[in-house]
Every structure is written in C-alpha cells, then in structure tokens.
Amino acid sequence: MSTRTWMITGASGGFGALMTRKLLERGDTVVAAVRRPQALDDLLATYGGQRLQTVRLDLTDAGSIRAATDAAFAANERIDVVVSNAGHGTFGAAEELTDAQIERVIGVNLLGSIHLIRAALPHLRAQGGGRVLQVASEGGSIAYPNFSAYHASKWGIEGFVESVRQEVAPFGIDFTVLEPGPSPTGFGDALDTAPATPVYDPTPSGDVRRMLRTGEGFDWSDPALIAEASIAVADVTPAPVRLALGRGAYAQIRAALQTRLAELDAQRTISESVAA
C-alpha cells in the first residue's frame, strides 16, 4: 500500500497519539493539529519536517479550526484521511453539571467536530475525495447515567456525520464513525467531574460514580489495538458508517439496538394509525 497523508486532531494524547506514532512508524505523513505543538517534541525530534507537521488548533474557536485546516491542506499536495479525534469528557448527573461544563463538552465534541468537518470538505472535494474518521464512542449509540452532556455531544456528531456523508458521497468523500468502548487512555482521569449531590448516591448515578472511582465493572479494550483498527478501517471499501471497537462496545451497542427495534415493532400499530 502506498503511503498516505493524515490530519489528526488531538494528536498529542490518547488514540490520536497512538495513531500518530503508528502511522509515522509505517512511513505515512501526519499533520498533527494540537493546542500545544511542544507536546510532540519527542516525535518531532525523530520525524519532524515533512513527515510530521504540526498546526495549532483550538477546537473551541471556529476561526482557529478553519485556519489550521487550510494550512494543513496548503502544505500538502493531498490529505487522504482526516481524523476528528480530539474530545472532552464531562461527568455528573444532569442537574449537578454547571452551565460552563455543558457548554464546553458540546463546544469541543460537537461544534468543534462540526467545524472541522466543514472546513475540510471543500479541500477534500477539490482534491477528488478522501476519508474522514470521526472518533465518537460507544456512548454515541448507548447511554449511561452521569454522562448526559457527553452523550448529547456524541449522539449529535453521529447524526451530523450520517447526514453529511450522504451529501458528499458523490464527491468521493467517505465517513466512518469510530465507537470505542472503555480503554485505559487517561480519559477517566481527565473527566471534568461535577461535585456529587448526596441525593443521587443510592441511585444508578451513584453506582456509576463508584464504578468510575474503582475502575471495576468495565470491559476494557487495548488502546493500541483500537488505534490499529482505526487506521485499518481507512482502507475498507465501502467505508462502514460505524465501527464498534471493543468486545463490550459491540455487546452493549447490539443490545441497545435490539431493545430499540423491539420497542419500535411494539409501536407499529400506533405508528401506522396516524398515517394520513
């Protein structure tokens, strides 16, 4: 397979960092879109120059996103794959969260991803196509207590992608939403956590808070293997709309879809009764 050029947001940590390292090791070129380019100094020392490029990007600033994306495409003859990876996590029952916490997780995960995709589309269309990998989560198809704002951002970006992919398919632009399950990437440690309200302690909200504190009850996946699978799916044609990553993610998403289908089937008579 010929080498490719990738643009990856959030390339300094988590899946983004793992993907960046693996791609560089196999000979590809990566444009790392990050808030702090110095976080990549170790990789820049080895691959800096044409193979590893950095652009400064703030996902809370639409102007910054457009400027970084324009610069990345201007510096390269072609960018084959855009990976919308950077994200933010907020944890707490809905009424425990502050306005600022909700606005930040929606601003980064949903609006930031939307602005990135919109900024990339004219370039991808002009070059005759490309692939976008949108990192969501199993939490883009299922929901747990205490992650309401996070789920809103992930369900939202999945809906956006499903619509946009239909708009741009005629231009050779493909999308895949990645839905990884829990993995030890430091996501839990970085969560913006709201103070607990005692009234929620004996509820499912309290149960999930205790699970997160102990780390027990999660079906963990290997983040390095998730990164490898995410890279590999860019070669799959036709591009899958979604890719569940993890044994737990597969089982949880499948169970949720079966429940939703059963509920829908049970409503068929009522649904059809309102037809004009």
- Tell whether the model's pLDDT for residue 165 goes beyond 90: yes
Sorting pLDDT into bands at 50, 70 and 90, what band is 188? low
**Residue 270 domain-assigned?**
no
Q: What is the mean pLDDT of residues 189-209?
A: 93
- At 179, give phi and psi (nearest 5°): -120, 75
Tens digit of pLDDT for each residue in 73-123?
Answer: 999 999 999 999 988 999 999 999 999 999 999 999 999 999 999 999 999
Record the tokens describing residue 125, joined without a space: 């269309």
The residue written with tokens 């939703």 in the block is 260
**Residue 143 domain-assigned?**
yes
**Residue 211 domain-assigned?**
yes
**Residue 254 domain-assigned?**
no
150 is catalytic: yes
Q: What's the domain count of the chain?
A: 1
Q: Which domain holds residue 230?
A: 5-247
Averaged pLDDT of the chain: 94
**Residue 271 domain-assigned?**
no
- Tell whether the model's pLDDT for residue 195 goes beyond 90: yes
- Tell whether the model's pLDDT for residue 1 goes beyond 60: no
Tens digit of pLDDT for each residue in 109-127?
Answer: 999 999 999 999 999 999 9
**Residue 258 domain-assigned?**
no
What is residue 241's DSSP assignment? S
CATH code: domain of residue 141: 3.40.50.720
- Tell whether the model's pLDDT for residue 156 goes beyond 60: yes
CB atoms within 10 A of CB 112: 27
Nearest-angstrom CA–CA distance, 112 and 241: 20
Nearest-angstrom CA–CA distance, 153 and 109: 6
Tens digit of pLDDT for each residue in 52-77?
Answer: 999 999 999 999 999 999 999 999 99
pLDDT at position 186: 67
Residue among 223, 218, 228, 224 nearest 251 (CA): 218
Active-site residue (options: 144, 150, 200, 250): 150
